[in-house]
Amino acid sequence: MSKRDLYDILGVDKGSSKKDIKKAYKKLASQYHPDKNPAPSASEKFKEVKEAYEILSDQDKRAQYDQHGHAAFDDSYRHEQQNARYGNNRSGFSQSSHAHQGFSGFEDMFGHGRSSNFSFEDIFSGEQAHRRPMTGQHREFTLEVGLKDALLGTEKIIHLPVENQDKKIKVKIPAGSKSGRQIRYAGKGEASPNGGRNGDLIIHIKTTDDEKLSVKGNDLTYVATIDVFTAMGGGAFNVQPLDKTFKVTVPAGTQNGQLFKLKSKGIQGGDLYVKVDIHIPTCSSENQKSALEALQNSL
């Protein structure tokens, strides 16, 4: 396998969700598939993308890769780890065709080499005193954010219980965030049980509904309330779905619920759809009713 970083191969961040990884894989696999791409290098790139996806889409393999990199899947590395845990045979001693080498190994353990960290329990159980430190467990937290705040980007303070204390952590939410996005803080998770690095803190973003604004992909839909006279006679009005103001012009006879498209005014090049919500006033006085009847007769 290529020694390139697997996340770089797929073009995703280390904290990307399984859904984002799968989406990136499908796009690249389609781009480099030998049936679609006749370039000589396409086949090798397709293989590289496929192998990266096979590891990053598997939770256990991904955890191993995040901790040990490519070495986690190297045969010699796995053999070394197996020997480190179980020894080369059931007694814990290395085999040798020369008797004096066996005694030499024994002296190394109990003499000038490692006597301070070995015990008979270690030897006969096949366990070694020096183990690779384990990474602490990850901590996960779901953070609810208003849709507009998530799209514009914001900062939030979350409270996490750490060793019976309330720990405050400032979370920076990048602009353009949507439900399902993950933000990872390395080393902010649980402590390792044997001196390894801490786990990570993984923030899951969940956006709350907005009565006027919704998002689909990079397209925005915004509900704008206009008066009945503008709808009947036509006219223009301004809308501000996020941080920018846009002018919308509607023709005479605009109906309630009608959509108007503003091209490339959404997020990241998407479109903005303005949905018209016509406000109908109440006629309470006799003069108003008479004027309404006169208007109705004229139409």
Structural domain spans, the chain = 6-73, 75-125, 139-208, 213-279
Nearest to 181 by CA among 215, 137, 150: 150
Residue with tokens 């993308």: 49
Instruction: Tell me what pLDDT residue 296 has.
Output: 81
The gap from C-alpha 24 to its chain's centroid, in whole angstroms, comes to 12
Give the mean pLDDT of 96-103. Answer: 39
Helix (H, G, I), strand (E, B) or coil at 154: strand
How far is the C-alpha of 264 from the C-alpha of 245, rounded, in Å? 14
For residue 83, the one-letter residue type is N
- Mean pLDDT lowest for which of 63-67, 126-130, 253-257, 295-299? 126-130
Confidence of residue 32 (pLDDT cuts 50, 70, 90): confident
* CB distance 247 to 236 below 8 Å: yes
Checking if the pLDDT of 264 tops 90, the result is yes
Q: What is the pLDDT of residues 155-169, one digit of tens each?
A: 999 988 877 788 899
Look at residue 83 in the predicted model and tell me its pLDDT. 55
Alpha-carbon 19 to chain mean position: 8
Q: Which pLDDT score, from 0 to 100, does residue 116 have?
A: 42
Q: What is the pLDDT of residue 85?
A: 52
pLDDT of residue 80: 57
Per-residue model confidence (pLDDT) at position 69: 83
User: What is this structure's pTM?
Assistant: 0.53
213-279 has CATH 2.60.260.20 classification? yes
What's the CATH class of domain 6-73?
A: mainly alpha
**What is the DSSP-derived secondary structure letter of residue 198?**
-
CATH of the structural domain 139-208, one choice from 3.30.420.40, 3.20.20.70, 3.30.450.30, 2.60.260.20: 2.60.260.20
Helices (H), 214-266: 228-233
CB 56 within 8 A of CB 21: yes
Determine the distance from the C-alpha atom of residue 290 to the mean position of all C-alpha atoms in its chain, rounded to a whole number.
61
Calculated CA dihedral for residues 45, 46, 49, 53, nearest 10 degrees: -170
173-210: per-residue pLDDT in tens? 999 999 999 999 998 888 888 888 999 999 999 999 99
Topology match between the domains 6-73 and 139-208? no
Predicted confidence at residue 153, as pLDDT, reads 95
pLDDT of residue 38: 80
pLDDT in tens, 283-293: 888 888 888 88
Strand ranges (DSSP E) for the chain? 139-146, 154-162, 165-173, 182-185, 201-208, 213-216, 219-227, 235-239, 246-250, 259-262, 272-279
Residue 218 backbone class (left: φ over 0; alpha: ψ -120 to 50; beta: rest): alpha
